Chain A
Amino acid sequence: MNRLQRAAVLLELTDRLSAGGSWCGETHIQKATYFLQELAKVPSNFDFILYKHGPFSFELRDELTAMRADGFLELRLKPPYGPSLVTTEIGQELKAEHPRTLDKHRRAIRFVAEQLATRNVSELERLATALFVTLDGAPRSAEERAEEIKDLKPHIDLESAEAAVGEVEEMMGAARAL
């Protein structure tokens, strides 16, 4: 994907998340893009690292800023949380100019949005960290992965970590059919 194709995919993901009820702040888009890339295998080619609140890509943050500079996205403020990212009219035009790319990845984008749109940032952190731990390194049992999540993120209790690992496994199963 070139830069504009990738931007069109990010805009479609933003719109789908928003339509599904997501707050659509940067954290929501970061985690959803991580799932889109690593679970649904859409080749967006961002480097993600395990950061303070789960997988995070500095490249993606820079790209979202660049997309604001180019007028594809804008910040919209609505209390009580931080700003939401909203696709602009120019962003919609960009999407309309990339129908083939969007058709190719539409199912994956819809799948990820359906799975994540209603999640809050705490849930997204748990799920994205569970996916990161699952994909990182040698295969381990669900219990081992839950323990690792608890070690990495002590504020996540073991029960929530186990639930997140279970949910991610279900999502991985469903994503295979894409």
Chain B
Amino acid sequence: MHRLLLDRARTENEDKRVSAQQASQLPGGKFSTDINAHLQMTDNEVMCALLEASRNSGISEHDAAKRIVSREHFRVLYERNPTDVERNSEAGKQIFEAAIARFGKENVRRDSYTQRSGAFDFPVHLKDHRTASSLLISETLRKIPVVAVDYVYIIPEKRDEALKWLEENRTKLLERKEKET
């Protein structure tokens, strides 16, 4: 189940990237609230806009569109790892910042998401008319982990170099910076 949630979060991140590109093509950056105008915005319009932007370097989102169309999209450089988080909860952020300093802001992206809302805790009315916490009753609910994903991406042209750099500097990059001691 956890893997499914992670995959879903990752898909949402992909959607976000397409949406960002798409938003720049919309009047005012937003979909129309008029129902007919909204329904006229189909996949065809989106694909046309993507292709047009990918072929025309004068359009502001040309680079993003070209990367999507020609599958030159950003590739994973780093993903959240429980061992790293145990050492430094800001591992993703630090690696992202270091990658920007090393490879340039335009070549690095980060997608980070942590589940909102709390534990699945609600009162359960039992057959003997007493009430107990759902977490006490259900082992399954107790075992659902908090979903947290953190990805750092790099342009494909620099991926090999970046992976080598990360491998060589991982220990140093994971040292917690924000401490007062």
Residues of chain A at the chain B interface (Cβ within 8 Å):
2-5, 26, 58, 61-62, 64-66, 68-72, 75, 77, 79-83, 90, 94, 96-101
Residue numbers in B under 8 Å from A80 (CB-CB): 132-133
Contact indicator B180/A99 (Cβ below 8 Å): yes
Min C-beta distance of A79 to chain B, whole Å: 6
Mask of B132-147 contacts with A, CB within 8 angstroms, 1/0: 1101100000100111
Choice from B115, B117, B145, B179 contacting A97 with Cβ under 8 Å:
B179
The secondary structure that dominates the B interface is loop
Closest 6 pairs (CB-CB, A-B): A97-B179, A70-B89, A69-B148, A69-B146, A66-B114, A100-B180
Contact indicator A71/B180 (Cβ below 8 Å): no
| Alpha-carbon separation in the docked complex, A2 to B94 (Å) | 14
Residues of chain B at the chain A interface (Cβ within 8 Å):
85-86, 89-90, 114-119, 121, 132-133, 135-136, 142, 145-148, 176, 178-181
In the complex, given contacts A58-B116, A66-B114, A83-B133, what are 8 additional A-B residue pairs having Cβ atoms less than 8 angstroms apart? A61-B116, A65-B114, A65-B116, A68-B146, A69-B85, A70-B148, A77-B135, A97-B179
Contact indicator A75/B119 (Cβ below 8 Å): yes
| Alpha-carbon separation in the docked complex, A97 to B175 (Å) | 12
Contact indicator A77/B176 (Cβ below 8 Å): no
Q: List 21 A-B contacts (CB under 8 A).
A: A2-B178, A4-B89, A61-B118, A62-B117, A65-B117, A66-B148, A68-B146, A69-B114, A69-B115, A69-B148, A77-B136, A77-B142, A79-B136, A80-B132, A80-B133, A82-B135, A83-B133, A94-B89, A96-B181, A98-B180, A101-B180
Residue numbers in A under 8 Å from B115 (CB-CB): 65, 69
Min C-beta distance of A62 to chain B, whole Å: 5
Min C-beta distance of A7 to chain B, whole Å: 8
Contact indicator B89/A71 (Cβ below 8 Å): yes
Contact indicator B121/A65 (Cβ below 8 Å): no
Min C-beta distance of A38 to chain B, whole Å: 22
